[in-house]
Structure 1
Amino acid sequence: MRLRDATDEDLDLLHDMLYEAFTWDGTARFTREQVRADEHTVRYLGGWQQPGDLGLVALDEDDRPLGAVWARALPAEAPGYGFVADDVPEIGMGVGAAHRGRGVGSALLAGHLDQARAQGWRALSLSVEDGNVAARALYERHGFVVVGRNGGSDTMLREL
């Protein structure tokens, strides 16, 4: 597996990975088209790649995508699910169902933390749904702590 920076050419892949994140338990809460069109989820990827956006793509040995992670700072007047502050980008991350449990998410997250530090961000936040035990454990292993609650999800923060 190798990691590379996400580019503006990865928008379709990032949407696919956002869909994977929403269907983490196999339940299709949205169609791919709904994910792309939803006014709330469009905050994470609309106009990708804006100044300050950062992300990574994990690829297998044949350059096929395994997963991706990205972050964008959102304003308080249009927050995401894991909003903490205007100057704290919110992470979106997804790993293809067939590739989960193989270290892809951990490699993406570790690389993304380095990427955010290099860009000078002070912290990263995210939202994890109740019941998503594997993702929560991954985030905790990488130093994220619960700082809030939004519906059926915890907001987690990782100081950098």
Structure 2
Amino acid sequence: MVGFSIRPAGPADGGFLADMLVEAANWRAGATRPRHVVLGDASHAAYVAGWQRPADRGVVAVDPEGRPVGAAWYRLFGADRPSQGFVATGVPELIIGVRPLWRAQGVGRGLLRALTEDARSGGYARLALSVEHGNFAHELYRSEGFAVIASANGRDTMVRRLR
């Protein structure tokens, strides 16, 4: 693969973020769920519904022709409507997805680093995420400073301290 660049995500990127949410949900080979099934699941839809709320932040990786190939974003969730990786009110949860052809090319790491820096500069003390057991991204998260703080229902909740 040739290089990629990273740009901020904006309101017009909502559809692409939904595509990347579907990619993230379908990480396991041979277990592909259709887009409408993934986005019809309230626990997944919460990550993109109404994008871009005031506290939502994200980044998009684009190929040399400007086509989006991956995205990472974070949202805040409340205790009354916790997400899969909810840790506490005021701790944003990260979501990341990369098109299959661009995986293992450094795109995920680049997105993760850019979004982590955005959260740090935004004043957040921690960043959380949820990852299924067996997901190859688990090692990426660990190598970037995320640590497992809880494990249930085949998923790990991971947190990275930013300060």
Length-normalised TM-score, structure 2 = 0.94
**Is 2:111 the partner of 1:108?**
yes
Q: 2:97 aligns with which of 94, 97, 107?
A: 94
Aligned residues: 159
Structure 1: unaligned runs, 5 residues or longer: none
Q: Deviations over 1:22-78 (max 9, x none)?
A: 111224453111222222212111110001101000001000111000100101121
Q: How many angstroms does 1:120 deviate by? A: 1.0
Q: What one-letter code is carried by the residue in structure 2 that aligns with 1:83?
A: F
| Counterpart secondary structure, 1:41 | helix
Residue 148 of structure 1 is matched in structure 2 by 150
Residue 5 of structure 1 is matched in structure 2 by 8
Distance of 2:5 and 2:103 partners within structure 1: 16
Residue 23 of structure 2 is matched in structure 1 by 20
Distance of 2:74 and 2:9 partners within structure 1: 11
Distance of 2:115 and 2:143 partners within structure 1: 14
Q: Deviations over 1:113-146 (max 9, x none)?
A: 11111111111100111111x2011001110000
Q: What one-letter code is carried by the residue in structure 2 that aligns with 1:148?
A: A
Q: 2:39 aligns with which of 36, 39, 47?
A: 36
Q: What one-letter code is carried by the residue in structure 2 that aligns with 1:41?
A: H
Q: What one-letter code is carried by the residue in structure 2 that aligns with 1:155?
A: T
User: Does the Cα contact within 8 Å between 1:43 and 1:74 map onto a contact in 2?
Assistant: no
Q: 1:136 aligns with which of 122, 135, 138?
A: 138
CA RMSD in angstroms comes to: 1.1
Superposed counterparts of 1:70-85, under 5 Å: 70-85=73-88
Distance of 1:33 and 1:99 partners within structure 2: 23
Distance of 1:62 and 1:30 partners within structure 2: 29
Distance of 1:152 and 1:29 partners within structure 2: 18
Give the percent of matched residue pairs that are identical in Structure 1 and Structure 2: 43
Residue 48 of structure 1 is matched in structure 2 by 51
Q: 40-49 or 15-24, which moves further after superposition?
A: 40-49
Q: 33-42 or 119-128, which moves further after superposition?
A: 33-42
